Amino acid sequence: MVHLGSGAICCSSMLNTVFLGQSCPKTLQLDRACLEVHSTIPRQLDLWHQYDECHLCDVEHWTTILPNGTVTLLVDTAFSSYFYYTENDKSKLCLTKGSFNENGIYGWNISEGTCSNIWTIKPPSSHFYLPLVVALCIYTIISILMSVAKCIYEQGWSARVWLRNVAFSELENRVPANTTWQSFDCTTPRLRLRAAGASSNGDLGSPPTRETSTTVARIGSTRRLISGRIQSLDTFRGICIVMMIFVNYGGGQYRFFHHAPWNGMTVADVIFPWFLWVMGMSLVISLRSQLRSDRSRYSVWLTASHNDLPNFRFAGVLQRIGASYFIIASIETLFLNLQGPSEYGLLNDLCDGWVQWLCAIALVGVWAMITFLMNVPNCGSGYLGPGGLHAHSKYVNCTGGAAGYIDQLILTPQHMYRRPTCRSIYQNTQPFDPEGLLGTLTAAFLVHLGVHASRILLCYEYWKCRISRWIFWGFVAIFVGGMMCGFHKEDGYIPINKNLFSLSFVLVTGGLAYLVFALLYYVIDYRKWWTGFPFRSAGMNSILLYVGHEITKHMFPWSWKPFVGTHGEFLTMNLIGTTLWIIVAWALYKKKFFLSV
């Protein structure tokens, strides 16, 4: 830290600003609070500071307090801090921990032999979450009004009033001759209309088959079959892409909509893995449709691998999507069973794809061997940390361990991401790609988890069989991932880490995807309580929305230069930008325009 003299401002390397001989500024930026430190000791003191988020990090010199002096510091409110002061003997005195809230002004008094607790001079902003609450209320009201309007338009209430005044005998005469009565339970007969030659589509939007053309519905029973396109799949994909756009736009500058600095997981960290999982679920549906249309497996494989490899850059979201898709699509193209299981059983889904499971486990094995056995120069083997200050600065230039080392060898540092999320906390200087080469192996395994969810859909006819297995696999994946990380953020053999796409991270996010999809399937496809609007149309044009929002993210009306820079303004701007893309997706859906790669 460099001091510029009394009354001047000097910035530290940890997003803290020191004001010498001044009080706190009248206005504070987002994620900032002010701390006034008053010393009545007639000797010079050294103040030391570190964030709790910085695991196994040494404290850093924060500032020097002159005899009987006062310093004012701006602190980052996203993470809790601990700090203390020393005199010439370097002994730690008054170790204090504090969590500061945005725009608050705090005080800390130091005197001979004692220090006060942190006390509040000015309360922090009480409207921190208010923009989120207002936005939630507005979108809820809009959703309700649109649902009511849609219900009035589609249900044809006027026609229902007319039908109530028509005698039953007249209606009976209008029923087609081939109408059959189907018993849905033991007591209630229900009318089932079935036009001559008509048939329903299968679960996956595939051509009608013998099984799907005679679909039976039985309310309250395990034997209810769902026909037609799986709307929950498009909805889940749409939720992922909408959340991805909102987070990429800034998420209202709320910290919980940003990625975790290194280990751990936030809301923003689950979106991309969920998208990969959904892509895996769609993969089998698409491949089976293509292979059943008399296309050879070789021609389908060529379609999945037509990228311009000499100019292909692997590091990036779209690149990881393409690479992981290619790996799993190649495996499925070779080993996909077009006929489905010969008989129904408890382990149908595993028996139908056991070869693919062996291939996916092999990918994980390769990832584990490289991660834990490769001897990285000056770093050793098995290091999974962020480098920099981590582990008392023992691994300064070892960010990501084997994953970072491989990227530096193949991609070279000048083609890697230069501002990883861990830099603000651990102060590492090395470039690191969160979508690097080694993590593509575990990303492909995550796609395979989605593939298995689709295989469950194909192997079992009844909704309870499907949902129970999705829930089972979801809890198993989460439990195994939790065991790997020791159910702790920093402990365990394999911490949950989005930057590395660690195996525990893949299992936990994949398990959550199973549970979320099971809920959506029950609500949308089985109970018909929700149509998936407005996310379903976004999910049917997800690639267009992703590319489009990346190109226009700095253009009006998707964004503008902030006037006041509050959470309310940023949230408004980011929600407007996201909503515009939802409207674009809905308009394209009405025009029957869908972009696929």
Instruction: Point out the residues that are catalytic.
Output: 259
Say if CB 327 and CB 363 are below 8 A apart. yes
CA separation for the pair 352, 343 (Å, rounded): 10
Say if CB 524 and CB 238 are below 8 A apart. no
Exposed e or buried b for every residue in 426-451, given b needs 16+ CB within 10 A? bbbebbbbbbbbbbbbbbbbbbbbbb
Q: Give the tokens for residue 580.
A: 């515009």
CA separation for the pair 566, 92 (Å, rounded): 38
Q: Looking at this protein, which amino acid is placed at residue 445? A: F
Q: Give the tokens for residue 552.
A: 């226009």
CA separation for the pair 75, 73 (Å, rounded): 6
Say if CB 125 and CB 86 are below 8 A apart. no
CA separation for the pair 451, 284 (Å, rounded): 6
- Structure-derived torsion over alpha carbons of residues 139, 141, 142, 148, reported in degrees to the nearest 10: 140
The number of beta carbons lying within 10 Å of the beta carbon of residue 539 is 26
Cis peptide before 534 (omega within 30 of 0): yes
CA separation for the pair 77, 435 (Å, rounded): 28
DSSP character at residue 316? S
CA separation for the pair 371, 264 (Å, rounded): 19
Measured CA to CA in angstroms, residue 203 lies from 332, 348, 460, 521, 541 at distances of 20, 18, 11, 12, 20
Say if CB 95 and CB 69 are below 8 A apart. no
Sequence-ordered list of residues with C-beta below 8 angstroms from that of 447, at least 6 positions apart, any chain: 276, 277, 279, 280, 283, 324, 325, 327, 328
CA separation for the pair 174, 309 (Å, rounded): 63
Rg of the chain over Cα atoms, rounded to whole angstroms, equals: 29
